[in-house]
Amino acid sequence: MPAQPPAGFAGEQLGRFVAASAWDAVPANVRHEGKRSLLNFMGCALGVARTPPIEMALRVLLPVSGKDTVTVIGRPERLDPFGAAFLNAVGANLLDYDDTHLRTVIHPTAPVAPAVLALAEQRGLPGQAVLHAFILGAEVECRIGNAVSPGHYARGWHITSTCGVFGSAAASAKLLGLDAQQAWHALGIAASQSAGLVENLPNGAKNVSVGNAARNGLFAALLAEQGYTAAPAAIEGVLGWARAMGDTPDMREIVGDLGERWEVLSNTYKPYPCGIVFHTVIDACIALRTRHALAAADIADVTVSGSQLLLDRGDRPATNSRDARVSIPHCAAVALLTGAAGLAQFDDPAVSDPAVAALRGRIKAALDPTLPIGAATVAVRTTDGRSLHMTVPHAKGSTERPLSDAEIGDKARDLARHGAFSGDIEAIIQAAWRIDALTTIGPLMAMLAELPPA
Amino acid sequence: MPAQPPAGFAGEQLGRFVAASAWDAVPANVRHEGKRSLLNFMGCALGVARTPPIEMALRVLLPVSGKDTVTVIGRPERLDPFGAAFLNAVGANLLDYDDTHLRTVIHPTAPVAPAVLALAEQRGLPGQAVLHAFILGAEVECRIGNAVSPGHYARGWHITSTCGVFGSAAASAKLLGLDAQQAWHALGIAASQSAGLVENLPNGAKNVSVGNAARNGLFAALLAEQGYTAAPAAIEGVLGWARAMGDTPDMREIVGDLGERWEVLSNTYKPYPCGIVFHTVIDACIALRTRHALAAADIADVTVSGSQLLLDRGDRPATNSRDARVSIPHCAAVALLTGAAGLAQFDDPAVSDPAVAALRGRIKAALDPTLPIGAATVAVRTTDGRSLHMTVPHAKGSTERPLSDAEIGDKARDLARHGAFSGDIEAIIQAAWRIDALTTIGPLMAMLAELPPA
């Protein structure tokens, strides 16, 4: 990394990078990680396609949708590209089961892929262009996130939403073939649309800001294509995005080593549909259960220890499915009881299961300031007086212990089943792994649609 | 004002106020000020309907517009309510000629009226419902703005955009007949969509955030109607809107004396299509020109003095129409040369007029810390050695020197002429003054549309 930030505006350099990026210069491992991100995304959106948040938003969006429509993942209805970008982003992030860029806690794909896929489907563009644009969008979004982390999220900004709009704008700019200047303006227009609050977790309002990030990034690029402009320093200026949001951006994070380091290589995929800080808690519980053949009746009480972040995020009861996904007692209880923490373990029946509720009541959280963020220790006192404990430093699915390609495929299968998807998930998985060979993205998008009721 | 903030969440109390507000309880002077605001708004949107920013955005929005369409002011094209809300808000604010709530510098009507009018036209609602919803939206938006002013704008937030979305949500909630709880959620969903940066003045990106405020407030209300929710303290919570944006909100400003004091009574209307801080500069120049019969050749140099705010906003050259509207030298030059500062004085021909440019070059700005914000002193040294000066404490159009109803009508006429509007501006003005008697808003909206080309 250079000692001095390279000269020029952040948006100017990002715009030039996006416009100039050649597919040949994207390394093979970066391309492959992009495919993993997209497949994981498709599974996540399929998993929730029949849920009320999707159907409620569809009722708002269908009447205002233009006639040139594209696929809503897992649905028979179609929407104009703005509506589809919004709704597919909502779906991808709805379960908190999508990918995570751990350094920023950004979910990179939800705000970016839906814009790219909608635009590419509408215009009959090839899969390689989709993958390329997505990779660039994720790059821009995560770099801007790096430049303002960790203060940005801590201050209340839902970083997936606030930075996602830049990713969507950059990706859409690439797909539209905007020049460097237009891409710069697109990023500046995105800055004036960046919004989303941590306070609104875990309410529907959070999904709205994620959906808007996808929609508004696409909107920014289309407006820039028509001639709309933004201020040169919209991102880093004195009255610009970062500083208004309370951050002093580290410009080197945004513009250093463009085209040399790739943020998508730091992307991770969750094996459990809950907040990522709880994953080591679940790993530890599953390991303790297996090693000591624990049954519920064996467990007197449980102490989950971790960083202040873990406690801030999850020291709360679980009364519904949304809360359960950010509840230490619930995550630990289902993992100890069932040895799993899949979709079924966070559904309402599991949340209201008396056995789960009883065990939740015997689980408490405690601060262990010696543990790094992300690590957890689970200590179980058994009814027969034993003290068992397990510390997990790195969760399954983290950069240190990544999911395999096969596990990402299995996760997509699970999600499709959970979403009662009637389409051909095997064909989707196969197409996703060779997305860069698809002449147009249309057939893959058609596979992702649910057939209309007969 | 109560010494203690009333108990309860900000959104809860605003939601209850909006849902419960009865037309009979809205005082006559409040209703009348609402009409003045709406007429001023219509004129502003008519004045720019054929300009590139409107036409560029139309090219993006027309292809995605649903078939159930409403009026785009001054245009033959129609858009779905979201698109129309966006574009009519862009138009209203494009010239910086719309209304101003001076305490917050919010332009109250641009983000609120377009959402209300679009929804009412689509659903065939009466004019009284439109006026009532608008007044409540302006109330909510300005109260939230009061609670975070002046720090909010100073920090880089384009307050018309960031607070406008609350106004649009509140007004849309009223028009949809949402209950208190739904209106509360609508405001919380609006909080997660609040965006817009001062850095992006005077670029198109600023218009995008104003348009989004109108569109997204409507979106928030429609989502809340379907069951979308937000956090109870989305506005004032620890990780909520105000604090994430860097403000400690004064809750009494938001919820004190609801239904007793009315913010729309503080609304003002510009006689000059430029930044409001320049209006006393223009008043002083016109007065000096008249009193001393000044011609350009008489003027050796000019010093415009005012607060730091005046200098921060306007100490810049003018090379195009947008910059001219926020340029002290341009505002002073046209007023001294022509005795006017109307639409023609800010058009490109005036900006590039050699006589105007020559006089701009002899005008400088200086700090006078003894002058309150909004006041200005203009000092002219004449070529024959005289020193003339004039201090104007309150601008024409301010709360101290409000435009008359007739002047607001004249302004609408000027704007319609400037926009080459072929419709019947007299009929529009008449209808606006009796909007609360209109059985449905449709006929007035039809009058505001431009006829399709023959």
| pLDDT at residue B4 greater than cutoff 80 | no
Report whether A118 contacts A88 (CB < 8 A).
yes
CA-based torsion, A210, A43, A112, A406: positive or negative: positive
Four-point Cα dihedral A91, A94, A95, A100, nearest 10: 90
% pLDDT > 70, chain B: 98
| Binary contact (B199, A60; C-beta < 8 A) | no
Test mutation, B77, B166, B200, chain A, max A CBs within 10 A: B200
pLDDT in tens, B57-71: 999 999 999 989 999
How many Cβ atoms from other residues are within 10 Å of residue A453's Cβ?
5
| Binary contact (A197, B81; C-beta < 8 A) | no
Give the residue, B96 or A188, on which the prediction is more confident. A188
Which residue bears the tokens 């467990």? A299
Asked if the C-beta of B243 comes within 8 angstroms of chain A's C-beta atoms, the answer is yes
Which member of B193, B200, B206 has the closest CB to residue A195?
B193
Kindly state the tokens that stand for B211. Answer: 């348009």
Q: Dump strand ranges (E) for B91-210.
A: 100-101
Which member of A66, A193, A233 has the closest CB to residue B66?
A66
pTM, to two decimals = 0.93
Which residue bears the tokens 């779905």? B80
- Set of chain B residues whose Cβ sits within 8 Å of the Cβ of A191: 197, 199-200, 205
| Amino acid letter, residue A196 | G
Asked if the C-beta of A134 comes within 8 angstroms of chain B's C-beta atoms, the answer is no
Taking the C-alpha atoms of residue B391 and residue B394, their distance in angstroms, rounded to an integer, is: 9
Report whether A332 contacts A378 (CB < 8 A).
yes
Which residues in A333-369 are b (16+ Cβ under 10 Å) and which e?
Answer: bbbbbbeebbbebbeeebbebeebbebbebbebeebe
| Binary contact (B244, A64; C-beta < 8 A) | no
Which member of B59, B205, B240 has the closest CB to residue A189?
B205
Report whether A269 contacts A40 (CB < 8 A).
yes
What is the interface pTM, i.e. ipTM, of the complex? 0.93
Residue A339, by phi and psi: left (phi above 0), alpha (psi -120 to 50) or beta?
Answer: left
Report whether A331 contacts A310 (CB < 8 A).
no
Query: How far is the CA of A45 from the CAs of A168, A205, B77, B327, in angstroms?
Result: 17, 18, 35, 50
Per-residue three-class SS string for chain A: CCCCCCCCCHHHHHHHHHHHCCHHHCCHHHHHHHHHHHHHHHHHHHHCCCCHHHHHHHHHHHHHECCCCEECCCCCCEECHHHHHHHHHHHHHHCCCCCEECCCCECCHHHHHHHHHHHHHHHCCCHHHHHHHHHHHHHHHHHHHHHHCCHHHHCCECHHHHHHHHHHHHHHHHHHCCCHHHHHHHHHHHHCCCCCEHHHCCCHHHHHHHHHHHHHHHHHHHHHHHCCCCCCCCCCCCCCHHHHCCCCCCHHHHHCCCCCCCHHHHEECCCCCCCHHHHHHHHHHHHHHHHHCCCHHHEEEEEEEECHHHHHHHCCCCCCHHHHCCCHHHHHHHHHHHCCCCHHHHCHHHHHCHHHHHHHCCEEEEECCCCCCCCEEEEEEECCCCEEEEEECCCCCCCCCCCCHHHHHHHHHHHHHHCCCCCCHHHHHHHHHCHHHCCCCHHHHHHHCCCCCC
Asked if the C-beta of A157 comes within 8 angstroms of chain B's C-beta atoms, the answer is yes
pLDDT of the residue at B6 = 54
Which residue bears the tokens 């198109």? B204
pLDDT in tens, B224-267: 999 999 999 999 999 999 999 999 999 999 999 999 999 999 99
How far from each other are the two terminal CA atoms of chain B, in whole angstroms?
A: 58
Asked if the C-beta of A198 comes within 8 angstroms of chain B's C-beta atoms, the answer is yes
Asked if the C-beta of A419 comes within 8 angstroms of chain B's C-beta atoms, the answer is no
Which member of B157, B204, B223 has the closest CB to residue A223?
B204
- Set of chain B residues whose Cβ sits within 8 Å of the Cβ of A209: 192-193
Phi/psi of residue B398, nearest 5 degrees:
-80, 175
Mean pLDDT computed over B319-337 = 94
| Length of chain B measured in residues | 454
Mean pLDDT computed over B432-445 = 98
Which residues in B38-58 are b (16+ Cβ under 10 Å) and which e?
Answer: bbbbbbbbbbbbebebbebbb
Phi/psi of residue A391, nearest 5 degrees:
-110, 130
pLDDT of the residue at A6 = 54
pLDDT in tens, B334-366: 999 999 999 999 999 999 999 999 999 999 999
| pLDDT at residue B453 greater than cutoff 80 | no
Distance from CA of A414 to the nearest CA of B (A): 27
- Set of chain B residues whose Cβ sits within 8 Å of the Cβ of A192: 158, 161, 195-197, 200, 205-206, 208-209
Below-50 pLDDT ranges, chain A: 1-3
| pLDDT at residue B9 greater than cutoff 80 | yes
- Set of chain B residues whose Cβ sits within 8 Å of the Cβ of A152: none
| Binary contact (A240, B156; C-beta < 8 A) | yes
pLDDT of the residue at B67 = 86
Domains and CATH numbers, chain B: 10-269+403-448 (1.10.4100.10), 276-392 (3.30.1330.120)
pLDDT of the residue at A1 = 39
Q: For residue B261, what is the enclosing H or E element?
A: none
Q: Helix, strand, or coil here: B410?
A: helix
Residue of A nearest to B226 (CA): A56
pLDDT in tens, A336-350: 999 999 999 999 999
pLDDT of the residue at B2 = 41
Asked if the C-beta of B161 comes within 8 angstroms of chain A's C-beta atoms, the answer is yes
pLDDT of the residue at A49 = 98
How many Cβ atoms from other residues are within 10 Å of residue B339's Cβ?
14
Interstrand relation of A100-101 and A267-268 (parallel, antiparallel or unpaired): antiparallel
From B314, B302, B298, B282, select the one nearest B363 (Cα to Cα): B302
Distance from CA of B329 to the nearest CA of A (A): 22
How many Cβ atoms from other residues are within 10 Å of residue B437's Cβ?
10
Q: Which residues are registered as beta bridge partners of B79?
A: B70
Q: Which residues are registered as beta bridge partners of B304?
A: B365, B378
pLDDT of the residue at A314 = 87
| Binary contact (B216, A212; C-beta < 8 A) | yes
Taking the C-alpha atoms of residue A14 and residue A20, their distance in angstroms, rounded to an integer, is: 10
| Amino acid letter, residue A410 | D
Cis peptide before A150 (omega within 30 of 0): yes
pLDDT in tens, B402-425: 999 999 999 999 999 999 999 999
- Set of chain A residues whose Cβ sits within 8 Å of the Cβ of B245: 244-246
Mean pLDDT computed over B314-327 = 88
- Set of chain B residues whose Cβ sits within 8 Å of the Cβ of A229: 203-205
Residue A165 sits at the vertex; the CA angle it makes with A324 and A404, to the nearest 5 degrees, is: 55
Taking the C-alpha atoms of residue A223 and residue A190, their distance in angstroms, rounded to an integer, is: 10
From B10, B327, B372, select the one nearest B191 (Cα to Cα): B10
Taking the C-alpha atoms of residue B365 and residue B362, their distance in angstroms, rounded to an integer, is: 10
Interstrand relation of A363-367 and A299-306 (parallel, antiparallel or unpaired): parallel
